[in-house]
Amino acid sequence: MTVAAPVRPDTPAPAPILSPRQVGLIVFALAMGGFAIGTSEFVVMGLITDIARAMAVTEPQVGHVISAYALGVVIGAPTLAILGARMSRRSLLLALMGFYAFGNLASALAPGYYSLMLARFVAGLPHGAYFGIAALVAARISPPEQRGAAVGRVMLGLSVALLVGNPLATWLGQSFGWRWAFALVSLIALATVAMTMRVLPRGMNAPRPDAMRELRDFNRKPVWLALGIGAIGFAGMFCVFSYLAPTLVHVTGVRESFIPFGLIAFGIGGILGTLGGGWLFDRLQFRAAAWILVWSAIILLLFPLAARSVWTVLPAVLAVGTMGALATVLQAHLMDVAKSAQTLAAASNHSAFNMANALGPWLGGMAITAGYGWTSTGVVGAITALAGLLIYAWARADARRAAPSTVACEAD
């Protein structure tokens, strides 16, 4: 049971009462920002061959561009959340999405490989902080019984991006040049800024927790172990997905025009995984993470075989997409163990998964460069899933050791 923090004199006034139509428009605007972020985050994976050809570099080198974006998220999520703590939620949202539009425009105009890496790093900085603040705003403007649904609708923008935005941007990049994909994301981000400015009223500030208490509750082993499971165990999905386009072309033997269908299959798997992860957590709690990691290791080990046929590669890619269930499970688990560090833990969860987004392409690129072939990403990914399972076992053992002392403290 959550105990409400005492109300301080500087606690902001309650949010203004909004009509259901106003709430719907605000949530749609916030979800549009999530759609822009999701499209930009994964578009390089669909255009990896086109970018490599245009930049005169290898496809594994383009994988480092993906890692640069992910590192931007890792650094930017907690940093911008802390730096923007004194800004109003509305102003911070507008600044973050405006910054995101700038980063993607810089990506579209990057003259060379290293400038593209820098632009992708800059574009990744506001990613995690935007989702964290957007979730807070969505919860604040909604009735208590509808807050979870509102936050879910904001995050739905990311899932729709996997299913629609990423294939659309990939087709656009293949047809008119890869730079147009980033230009499209920049336009969507600017549209988000305009709509948010119009529909989101002022006065959306939420009570701020005590900073020292939040840092103290965040710096605990259960929180760090949960983040470690995400950072390591989730890397396998990104390892395979980052090099999906060249794998389809060079191993499966399909034309580049087939790549959007692979991205659609992955998007369907991502939506199923997000829904399935919540269902599993309701029934198994933290144990759901172990089942998902075992499932991940199995499907990643089977991927090299499935990738050789057009009839099996799409179901395999869909199955890899279901690994997204781990994100839902770990987010729910963090809510149980983070105590008063909910905001910082939510932002750091995005950092952890983008560490996986950086680690996966890097490890996969090393295996490919070493001559093990495009499908070696499946084996490398399975190893990271098993490593995540070891961290899970550590977390479970630590929880069992801590349980007696927790019971004793409650008794006292």
Q: With bands split at pLDDT 50, 70 and 90, how would you rate the model's confidence at 269?
A: confident
Q: pLDDT tens, 49-83?
A: 888 888 888 877 887 888 788 888 888 877 887 77
Token pair recorded at residue 109: 């105009």
Helices 376-411 and 221-228: crossing angle in degrees, nearest 10, is 160
Residue 8 lies inside a defined structural domain of this protein: no
For residue 272, how many other CB atoms are within 10 A of its CB? 17
Instruction: Quote the number of domains for the chain.
Output: 2
Q: Residue 351: which CATH number?
A: 1.20.1250.20
Q: Of the given ranges (90-94, 345-349, 357-361), which has the lowest mean pLDDT?
A: 345-349
Q: pLDDT tens, 374-409?
A: 888 888 999 999 999 999 998 888 888 876 655 444
Residue 354 lies inside a defined structural domain of this protein: yes
Residue 288 lies inside a defined structural domain of this protein: yes
pLDDT at residue 352, rounded to an integer: 84
- pLDDT higher than 70, residue 256: yes
52 and 185 inside one domain: yes
pLDDT at residue 386, rounded to an integer: 93
Average pLDDT estimate for 310-333: 84
Residue 262 lies inside a defined structural domain of this protein: yes
pLDDT at residue 145, rounded to an integer: 55
- C-alpha 81/C-alpha 86 separation (Å) is 10
Q: With bands split at pLDDT 50, 70 and 90, how would you rate the model's confidence at 95?
A: very high
Residue 115 lies inside a defined structural domain of this protein: yes
Q: pLDDT tens, 193-203?
A: 999 998 888 76
85 near 344, Cβ under 8 Å?
A: no
Q: Of the given ranges (322-326, 331-335, 349-353), which has the lowest mean pLDDT?
A: 331-335
Q: With bands split at pLDDT 50, 70 and 90, how would you rate the model's confidence at 9?
A: very low
Q: pLDDT tens, 129-147?
A: 888 778 778 767 777 655 5
224 and 278 inside one domain: yes
175 and 50 inside one domain: yes
85 and 223 inside one domain: no
Domain hosting 317: range is 209-412
Q: Which residue has the tokens 């198994």?
A: 284
From residue 194, alpha-carbon distances to 25, 122, 209, 382 in Å are 12, 21, 30, 43
225 and 358 inside one domain: yes
Residue 1 lies inside a defined structural domain of this protein: no
Residue 2 lies inside a defined structural domain of this protein: no
- pLDDT higher than 70, residue 150: no
Q: Which residue has the tokens 């119009």?
A: 198
Cα 146–chain centre separation: 23
